[in-house]
Structure 1
Amino acid sequence: MSVKILRQAVQSFLPSLAPVRFVAEDGTAVKQSAGYTEPADALLREAYRRMVLGRRFDTQATALTKQGRLAVYPSSRGQEACQIAAVLALREDDWLFPTYRDSVALVARGVDPVEVLTLLRGDWHCGYDPMATRVAPQCTPLATQVLHATGMAEAMRRKGEDGVAMALIGDGGTSEGDFHEALNFAAVFESPVVFFVQNNKYAISVPLARQSAAPALAYKGVGYGVRSEQVDGNDVVALLSVLTAAVEHARAGRGPFLVEAHTYRMDAHTNADDATRYRDAAEVEQWRTADPLDRLEIHLRARGVLTDDDVAGDRSDAEALAADLRTRMNTDHRADPLELFDHVFAEPTPQLREQRALLAAESTAQED
């Protein structure tokens, strides 16, 4: 292969030198030269509505944690643009593989908010039906869901389906071996999977500079032959454009796609974390000026796509969602000990049947 051809091949995998963006922090449009298509106004309007709902869900879930109704809650405040764009870029028959921080994405996907929080309340490992929702269980171990997504994508490809799997992952997860194994496998077999990295600058308390010396995490794709891109993660217009292109790339049989979104986690890692120990208030305040929801609202108002009535209606719907969530979460879950034996095997073994019968008999005796 000539040097010229090799250089062209490498260039085809490289991300843009600067993150793709359509809208600046102040809501004004910026010139876009990366060749991506701006989403339709109707899609942007829907994105705004879901971001309003998502943020209200997130703040309500945080409050429920403080009230003792949740064992833990990892907030995604400030990352709503990433969460919503990921969902809107997929079809209903595509698969989403989320992390523990992607609850807003699940709500936007149509999963019952109470079922989303079932894991975080400690009732079940997963509170919803993954097969019915096409949403894999929220993954707490770092990066293991990336391999799962790659496996699902490859299975769909081999079955002749045109579905796509999208794996959501944090910047910390890209330091795990599972992430690199998934990229390598997906590239070799041209599996239809999109790796979506939400780079919020911290892996709990570890800053990005202590994790990677790469100019951007998006550059990790080129070594595996994976097309990559980086995007402003607080600009939902750019996110929708890039993620839609990535999904179409994978669906067309052109292999996997890696997207890195530059965003920020406004709240602490979880309610058990004290973020003031490793980042200062000035940094948080600086990112607050890049709020994705405010940016989109200003942009859509200026274009005449969003009115005062629209904003009031969306906020009213968000309050209704929060009120319903409070009501349904304000109950104590009654655990059934026999649930221990559910979903262990499709067909229970004789030993499990015996153990279940013994526990049922003991429970009945105690009640008597």
Structure 2
Amino acid sequence: MIAVFAGPSLPPAERRAGEGMRFLPPVAQGDVARLLQRRPRPAAIAILDGFFEGEPAVLHKEILWALAEGVPVLGAASMGALRAAELHGHGMIGVGEIFAAYRDGVLVDDDEVAVLHGPAEAGYPPASEAMVNIRATLEVACRRGILDAAGRDALIEIGRRIFYKERSWRRLLAAAAEAGVEAAPLEALAAWLPEGRIDRKREDARALLAVLRDPPSLPAPAWHFEWTGIFARIAGTGGEVEEAPSEEEAAILDELRLDPDLYERLRPRALLARPEAGGGAPDAATRARARARLLERLDLPDRRARERWMAANGLDAAGFEALVEREARLEGLP
């Protein structure tokens, strides 16, 4: 079995078990270590997406542990590209253009691949635009004569200054107009985007899946893995040492994390079931604010755009209303 940690970089329809692959939610601290403690171990581990803000990010050391144990670890697209660029000298295998850009120092900032995304039960759909996708799209637009080089560079700089959770093409084009970028090329770009937008993260994710059909073997590492007491405690609990779960709770969590369908259904429900999440249904005003935020974040200015997005992400009207409900309930969380 090959374990693949995937989220917004790969649409749910492409995260289907097959060819010896098992798709898991985005990786978090302790997830790779838990895989290594199960028998049989995975034949390889692939990282596309990972948590980094609401949960501790996957540790470099747990990846090194996998490599030291002879388990290939591959990365691409998002968190996987970052970790592969940082650990390729130790044997982690990077795939795709995003990895290469980080490895070669063309990209430096972590937020180039960061996106806001929807909940697990919706398949972690991206709710903002990754800067790496914006760069790739603007480069193609420049080659096709929609923008000149100066316009491309101006838009890239403006995009870099937008907080990653708020990045969208609509926000970028509005900011560019406010900054005095010429209107004609902005209008041409807006008209071209529906068919011309490049999703570099998705392309790199697909490239990694192609490599996994015949995963490479690893030479014996030329370095020594240093086992420490602190890492042993983290690897054993998956994160917070001071508030570690009981043995029974840890066993349940281990099983849930390795059953992606069940885990994805239960995790957000557990978060919203916490006392601070509140028990009552959101009122009309809260739902209206939540709907407006969601539509703006997803760049859905009208019904046609909303229906296209829903179709692309496998949602019907009820599913979209569930996203609004969740957004409204999350408003009250600290």
TM value normalised by structure 1:
0.27
Q: Which is bigger in relative contact order (C-alpha 8 A, separation at least 6)?
A: 1
**Larger radius of gyration, structure 1 or 2?**
1
